[in-house]
Chain A
Amino acid sequence: MSLNYFELFGLEPIFNIELATLESNFRKIQSESHPDRFVTAPAAEKLSAMQQATLANEAYLSLKNPANRAKYLLELQGITAISETNTAMPTDFLMQQMEWREATEDAVSAKDISTLDSLLAEIRVEAKSLQESLTSLLDVQKDYAAATDATRKLIFIDKVSEDINRAIEQIDI
């Protein structure tokens, strides 16, 4: 019997989870399964500890990050949010992304970290509003088609943030 990530942490499978409960249950599981608890145990127990702790880390990461959590909830519904055949995005969203990317490039050539930081802040605001609509789409309306679009936007936004962070790293030496 294999548990899904929500079951593993004793959580209801919804988007708007209680992060404090996720965190404290994650720690409870790691307290039982972390390899540090099995340093002097036989090999079979070490192996199962390693597997359980690895799974708990993976599951925690999947539920802690909102984009991953939405993607995982959709997977439980049998929906793949990002696939090779499904890459269409609304034009206005693509335009906005291009603006962010251009602003990033300009700031990088000017080695302007504070502009990059304010871009990140702007993107965080956008991410926050997407998360709010995901709460309603996934938990209340159960409109999975609209939720899939919002999830894909959130994943793209995460990717842009990651790229900006990487760009900051290249110039901040």
Chain B
Amino acid sequence: MALLQISEPGMSAAPHQHKLAVGIDLGTTNSLVATVKSGMATVLQDEHGHALLPSVVRYMPEGEVVVGHDAQAQQSADPVNTIASAKRFMGRSLKDIADRAHIPYNFVDSSDSTKILQIQTRAGLKTPVEISAEILKTLKARAEKSLGGDLIGVVITVPAYFDDAQRQATKDAARLAGLNVLRLLNEPTAAAVAYGLDNAAEGTFVIYDLGGGTFDISILKLTKGVFEVLATNGDSALGGDDFDHRIYCWVLDRIRESTSDFNPLSENDTRLLLTKARQAKEWLTDNHEAQIVCRLSNGLLVDVTLSATQFVEFTQQLVIKTLAPTRKAMRDAQLTLEDIKGVVLVGGATRMPQVRHAVEEYFKQTPLTNLDPDKVVALGAAIQANALIGNRSEDDLLLLDVTPLSLGLETMGGLVERIIPRNSTLPVARAQDFTTYKDGQTAMSIQVVQGERELVADCRSLARFELRGIPPMAAGAARIRVTFQVDADGLLSVSAREQTNGVEAHVVVKPSYGLSEDEITHMLKSSFGSAEADKVARMLAEARVSAGAIINSVTLALAADGHLINEQEKQAIETEIQNLQTVSQAEDAAAINKAVDALNHATEAFAAARMNASVSHALSGKNLDSINL
């Protein structure tokens, strides 16, 4: 765990100390880590000079875990213990995986179809969250080695079209890897930041992001360091992998044509052919034809030639599939093609000429490709991480992102009542009142769903919870207010409250097919494997760090803005500070955390007063904008 250095209250630490924060692009095919060094965003390389870390995790016989190129090299030899593209399974149950017959892993068939997906490996059952955590741990180690210190926090990118379950799974993976997540950032927004700042771009831009396994389209308005997402859309199960898969199917057809006795492929052969397919796809970016040659385990020699024309032909449907979300985003943003100043291509799959042509044809302009489509997302994440941690001067970067999918709940007849429409700017909160259906009804089951369809059955169910203790009344008399809040990470929490007697229920949405809190705690314990005494010491150290941080920050705030509250309120805060200082001397982590909570609580009104003051200050024209110029 990262330990912050805190000086004595009242004495500020070294003013220009650079805090370590990185941006991580956790990709389907490749992952990267980047940071800002002396004002420049840079991708960090491993000891062999590789920037890209293949998102492949291999569980070794001796219990070791290998991540990256070495794992990728053994994919065909050891397919069931070498997991690639785990991102495709994040926040998904087995029934969501359409083409699993062609995926060479031992998925565990659970009787409960809503349970989190698991893969049987020689190291035991692994969830996509744990597999992703191995990739994050590798990048964390790379960053800490390269930067020479512990990371204070990270920004991790996710596809803009990721739903709540997929976002939550990503955050869980970061926790397992021991990372402090400053923010989940949408990949196209990250790309826009890197592109926009680099080119001092102003106006409305489209980010077309076709990655290994996901497709996003985002439309942003760029004005003086403000990146405002107007609309986003996409397909979280469409990417470069699908083009590999089409080549793989084409090769299978050729094999079937040439031989009569053709048995189902072994896992090793499936992986081998998928790898050959990927290589052929990459080769066809700059060449007219690709030769695919390999020998299968039964001795059969495969030797076929694929022309670029054939490839374009049988992947045309995939390219077309990206245009419907594109049109939806344009319509949601209420824009016409003439409004678009530039189209930025992101993601390795946009290297394919047929993708470039389709984008060019639709937008009637040449897409912008002057940034490396593999790196631009990580660079943007690094810039955002640097800004969030406070290394960048305060008022020159602001990201206003949106919810990709509508959120609602189930009403009578399995219909969806939309509470928060898609493309609402974050953070957003909405409340709606509901009532009972039967006389004397005392409980209500609330099912939270995400998606655009009218029927609950066609949307993704995020969670179900119950509000009990409603006083018995005639049908339709009770008033139950359900409030949805989506935070800046795009994560939802829901609360319900009966208005007449105040019965309340609150859930932070934890998807039914996600990991439970207990499971995460258990995984964390087994991964640290440390003695009980170590754990106690670590908890105490962490509690003291957060105590020091809040005392420092409240003390500074009181010195600057103490006049905003009366003596009595000030006294109450100072009492809690003293109490926290006393408790921090002792060895009881729980008592320290409690005192931190008490101090936080005591400062709520003060924090709100400071917020009001800074907002009205901003509008009075005396803000930093005019001074900085």
Contacts and interface: CB of A to CB of B under 8 A. Distances in A.
Interface stretch (B119-127, B393-401, B440-448): B393-401
B249 interface: no
A98 to B, nearest CB: 22
A41 to B, nearest CB: 7
Nearest to B397: A36
Contact of B182 (A27, A31, A39, A165): A39
A72 to B, nearest CB: 16
B427 A39 contact: no
Given A29-B618, A31-B398, A57-B427, A39 B550 contact: no
Given A33-B614, A48-B607, 18 more contacts: A10-B619, A29-B615, A30-B226, A31-B398, A34-B400, A36-B183, A36-B398, A39-B182, A39-B183, A39-B389, A40-B152, A40-B182, A40-B390, A42-B550, A44-B601, A54-B429, A169-B328, A172-B324
6 tightest CB-CB pairs across the interface, nearest first?
A48-B607, A44-B607, A44-B603, A35-B488, A43-B600, A28-B618
Interface string A35-61: 111011111110111111110011011
Contacts of A50: 427, 487-488
Interface residues of A, number: 38
Given A47-B604, A54-B485, A32 B324 contact: no
11 contacts: A29-B618, A31-B226, A33-B615, A34-B488, A36-B387, A39-B388, A40-B153, A42-B599, A45-B610, A53-B488, A61-B425
Chain B CB count within 10 A is highest, among A39, A50, A57, for A39
B327 to A, nearest CB: 6
Interface string B369-412: 00000000000000010011110001100111000000000000
A48 B429 CA distance: 14
B373 to A, nearest CB: 26
A16 interface: no
Contacts of A172: 324, 327-328
Interface in B587-629: 597, 599-601, 603-604, 606-608, 610-612, 614-615, 617-619, 623, 625
A154 to B, nearest CB: 16
B419 interface: no
B611 A33 contact: yes
Interface in B255-274: none
B387 A168 contact: no
Interface of A: 9-10, 25, 27-37, 39-45, 47-54, 57-58, 60-61, 165, 168-169, 172-173
Contacts of A57: 424-428
Contacts of A41: 553
A35 to B, nearest CB: 4
B562 to A, nearest CB: 15
B545 to A, nearest CB: 12
Contacts of B428: 54, 57-58
Nearest to B599: A42
A45 B183 contact: no
A27 B226 contact: yes
A35 B427 contact: yes
B554 interface: yes
B128 to A, nearest CB: 27
A117 to B, nearest CB: 9
B549 interface: yes
B223 interface: yes
Interface of chain B, helix or strand or loop or mixed?
helix
B19 to A, nearest CB: 9
A48 B604 contact: yes
Nearest to B619: A10
A30 B604 CA distance: 20
B577 to A, nearest CB: 12
A168 B334 CA distance: 14
A35 B625 CA distance: 20
A33 B619 CA distance: 12
A45 B608 CA distance: 7
A32 B615 contact: yes
B331 interface: yes
Given A30-B400, A52-B611, A169-B452, A39 B153 contact: yes
Contacts of A42: 549-550, 553-554, 599-600, 603, 607
A113 to B, nearest CB: 9
A36 B401 CA distance: 11
Contacts of A39: 153, 182-183, 388-389
A42 B600 CA distance: 7
A8 to B, nearest CB: 8
Nearest to A53: B427
Interface in B543-567: 549-550, 553-554
Nearest to B390: A40
Nearest to B613: A32
A43 B524 CA distance: 24
A36 B606 CA distance: 20
Contacts of B601: 44
Interface in B298-326: 324
Contacts of B389: 39-40
Contacts of B395: 31
A52 B488 CA distance: 13
Interface string B517-561: 000000000000000000000000000000001100110000000
A57 B601 CA distance: 25
Interface string B479-510: 00000010110000000000000000000000
Given A48-B611, A50-B487, A52-B611, A31 B618 contact: yes
A54 B427 contact: yes
Contacts of A168: 331
A30 B619 contact: no
Contacts of A31: 226, 395, 398, 618, 623
Interface string B330-351: 0100000000000000000000
A61 B429 CA distance: 12
Contacts of A28: 618-619, 623, 625
Chain A CB count within 10 A is highest, among B327, B389, B427, for B427
Contacts of A51: 608
Contacts of B618: 28-29, 31-32
A101 B153 CA distance: 53
A87 B427 CA distance: 33
B283 to A, nearest CB: 32
B112 to A, nearest CB: 32
Contact of B607 (A32, A40, A45): A45
Given A47-B604, A54-B427, A57-B428, A30 B487 contact: no
